[in-house]
Amino acid sequence: MFQIAVLISGSGSNLQALIDNQTKFGYRIAVVLSNVADAYGLVRAQQAGIATCVVNHKDYDGREAFERAMIQALDAYQPQLVVLAGFMRILTPTFITHYAGKMLNIHPSLLPKLKGLHTHARAIEDKESEHGASVHFVTAELDGGPIIAQGRVPVQPDDTADALAKLVLTVEHQLYPAVVAGIVKGMISAPPDVRIDDILAPIDLPLLLQKVA
């Protein structure tokens, strides 16, 4: 069975979607790692019988030491893919290089638009007609890296950031497990050198769902 590790810092609703689709898509979450001891995602993992571990960045002297501790904890489970799901620490090349081509992130915008935080409010401010979520391979550039797939939602004139966030999350919950399924099935793979920020033509969610079904 294809083994994945999921990294979280908070509520873990994407983690829940990944948990719920393990059997359907033929992968197994070997471990959930959080840098926050009381992240609700840890409860979700425990309820599903998945191993958890906490590596708190505050316990380490600097990012490198923190990342080395995470690598040690994760590699004990030999993950074939590392999945960032609301993991709220910036990663350095120490960690990124170790999992080059084997690490995914989900970002709540149609990348390369709206990198960074507060994407839903910014989509409304910018009067975007369309918004959504993207899954990409992780490179050293924040919210950069080859974009694999995207899910889109329309932005209504009277939308609030909260309403839009909820709607985008429903898309994320379909998108992330489907991308993992595409990797498990060998339909999606990292470009030979993921440090080069060559954008793959992102697959739209409806087509991706068809392909992995």
- According to DSSP, the residues that pair with 5 across neighbouring strands are 31, 82
Q: Does 108 bind ligand GRF (CB under 6 A)?
A: yes
Rounded to a whole number of angstroms, the minimum distance from the CB of residue 172 to ligand GRF is: 5
**Rounded distance between C-alpha atoms, residue 175 and residue 136, angstroms:** 11
Cα separation values, 197 from 96, 104, 136, Å: 14, 14, 11
Cα distance between residue 130 and residue 124, in whole Å: 10
Q: Residue 86, interface with ligand GRF (CB under 6 A)? A: yes
- 136 included as an active-site residue: no
3-state secondary structure of 27: strand
* Residue sitting closest to ligand GRF (CB): 86
Interface residue with ligand GRF among 25, 172, 181, 194 (CB under 6 A) is 172
Interface positions, 118-147, toward ligand GRF (CB under 6 A): 133
Least distance in Å: CB of 72 to ligand GRF? Answer: 24
Instruction: Please tell me which residue in 57, 98, 107, 173 is annotated as part of the active site.
Output: 107
**Using the rule CB under 6 A, is 13 a contact of ligand GRF?**
yes
- Taking the C-alpha atoms of residue 5 and residue 74, their distance in angstroms, rounded to an integer, is 7
Q: Looking at the chain, how many residues does it have?
A: 213
- Residues serving a catalytic function are 107
Binding stretches for ligand GRF (CB under 6 A):
10-14, 85-86, 106-108, 133, 172
